[in-house]
Amino acid sequence: MKFSCEKTLLTNALTMTARVVSARSTLPVLEGVLISADKEKIKITGYNMETAVITELSADIKETGSIVVPAKILVDIIRKLQDGIVDFEVGNDFIVSINCGLSEFKIVGIDPEQFPKLPDVNKESSFNLNQNLLKSMLSKVLYAVAVNENKGVHTGVLFRIEDQILELVALDGFRMALRREKIEIKKNKNINFVAPSSALRELEYALKESEDKNITIDVGSRHIQFITEDVTIVSRLLDGEFLNYKNSIPTSHNYTLSVNTRDFLECVERVSLLVSDKVKNPVRMVFEETNINMFLNTSLGSAKDSCSCEGAAENIEIGFNHKYMIDAFKAALPDERVSLKLNSALSPCIITSEDNDSYLFMVLPVRLKS
């Protein structure tokens, strides 16, 4: 194999694929990226046996072929090269030569036959989405995914399409994030699947904010693939029954308040400065007629702050995990104002847009000590 290409293009492609490569693996081949050259383009693949990222780039290809190269050292070398054309050649015994300007490197590659075969996606359904839209939707929900592997299916995001409405839902037992959007798909069919958050974070990183570029999503029985112009991500799907999230959302509310999103967020951030990994206490919120007063007491000291609001909640006092509230309000940005919906000191707090129903965030309260 022998090709030449721009350093910037090669760096970007390697950086994207290397993100999923295992830093340490019992199989050395899984610590590398598979580089393949056909007559038209270069394809670089990273795979950790759960998620695969494949990038494609243009190059001056002199000889076709393939090789597996240790990902970390290759990325480090290419990044440090001076700008210009990189010459890449595979010789005998899988020795890889990399030349750019006055720099010359030779590193030992791995037989590409050892690289595991990627799973086939037996496409059962397929639909297209605008890349910008999907990137925005993912940014609203990924923060609420469960990080505890014991929660299985809830370590992923539910994609649900019904009556041309796409909903993305993530939850971890203490909070929930829901983002919905009306879409147009050729076949008006219901689609449900749960994709791992690890793969979706790679997808969010790969998506370009573009008004006119689409992504194709192919859903199989056990796997899914996301295809953009130059990146393909293949991932397993998560098995298990996702929580019936609709039943957990209160259908009515005793109190609805309007707050400035950034003011509320900054108020919680200030009060929670006294919380650390070793010192943890909930933020105590007292809802009054025109203010939400926030208090925090820890062994480090105490803090008090206040945020104005429109609407009253009759002196309800609720405790919240500061991080959960901060994450929800960061996701609500850039909306200038949001609605807080409450029922009692022990019921969930619902956060929605004041302009539409495109998202809904729910945070469960923490029981306060008297």
Q: Taking the chain (370 residues) in consecutive chunks of 10 residues, what is each chunk's mean pLDDT?
A: 96 96 89 95 96 96 97 96 96 95 96 95 90 95 91 94 95 96 82 96 89 90 95 96 93 94 97 84 90 91 94 87 96 95 93 93 88
Same domain? 211 vs 314:
no
Task: Write phi, then psi, for 332 (nearest 5 degrees).
Answer: -75, -25
Same domain? 129 vs 227:
yes
Assigned domain for 90 exists:
yes
Same domain? 283 vs 204:
no
Measured CA to CA in angstroms, residue 93 lies from 30, 66, 97, 264, 270 at distances of 19, 13, 12, 62, 60
Helix (H, G, I), strand (E, B) or coil at 369: coil
Q: What is the pTM of this model?
A: 0.92
Same domain? 180 vs 141:
yes
Same domain? 99 vs 131:
no
74 Cβ partners below 8 Å, 6+ apart?
A: 14, 18, 32, 33, 107
**pLDDT number for residue 188:** 65
Of 68, 95, 114, the domain-final residue: 114
**pLDDT number for residue 123:** 86
**pLDDT number for residue 181:** 95
What DSSP state is assigned to residue 69? E
Same domain? 271 vs 344:
yes
**pLDDT number for residue 43:** 97
Assigned domain for 368 exists:
no
Assigned domain for 92 exists:
yes
Task: Write phi, then psi, for 16 (nearest 5 degrees).
Answer: -65, -50
Q: At 223, which CATH number?
A: 3.10.150.10
CA triplet 71, 75, 78: central angle to 5 degrees? 140
Size of the chain, expressed as the number of residues it contains? 370
What DSSP state is assigned to residue 331? H
**pLDDT number for residue 25:** 83
Assigned domain for 86 exists:
yes
Same domain? 198 vs 257:
no
**pLDDT number for residue 312:** 80
32 Cβ partners below 8 Å, 6+ apart?
A: 21, 68, 69, 70, 71, 74, 109, 110, 115
Same domain? 23 vs 67:
yes
Of 245, 268, 286, the domain-final residue: 245
176/144 Cα distance (integer angstroms): 6
Of the candidates 236, 141, 161, the residue with the CA atom closest to the CA atom of residue 196: 236
Task: Write phi, then psi, for 96 (nearest 5 degrees).
Answer: -100, 125
Same domain? 230 vs 312:
no
Helix (H, G, I), strand (E, B) or coil at 265: helix
Same domain? 109 vs 79:
yes
Structure tokens at 232: 């393909």
269 Cβ partners below 8 Å, 6+ apart?
A: 326
| Other beta carbons within 10 Å of 357 | 9
Same domain? 299 vs 254:
yes
Assigned domain for 119 exists:
no
Cβ(78)–Cβ(14) below 8 Å: yes
Assigned domain for 330 exists:
yes
Q: How big is the chain by its Cα radius of gyration, in Å? A: 25
CA triplet 61, 97, 37: central angle to 5 degrees? 25
The domain tally of the chain equals 3
49 Cβ partners below 8 Å, 6+ apart?
A: 30, 116
**pLDDT number for residue 211:** 67
Q: Domain range spanning residue 319?
A: 249-363
**pLDDT number for residue 315:** 78
Cβ(259)–Cβ(307) below 8 Å: yes
238/235 Cα distance (integer angstroms): 9
Cβ(137)–Cβ(206) below 8 Å: no
Assigned domain for 6 exists:
yes
Same domain? 147 vs 233:
yes
**pLDDT number for residue 370:** 61
Of the candidates 277, 141, 242, 261, the residue with the CA atom closest to the CA atom of residue 197: 141
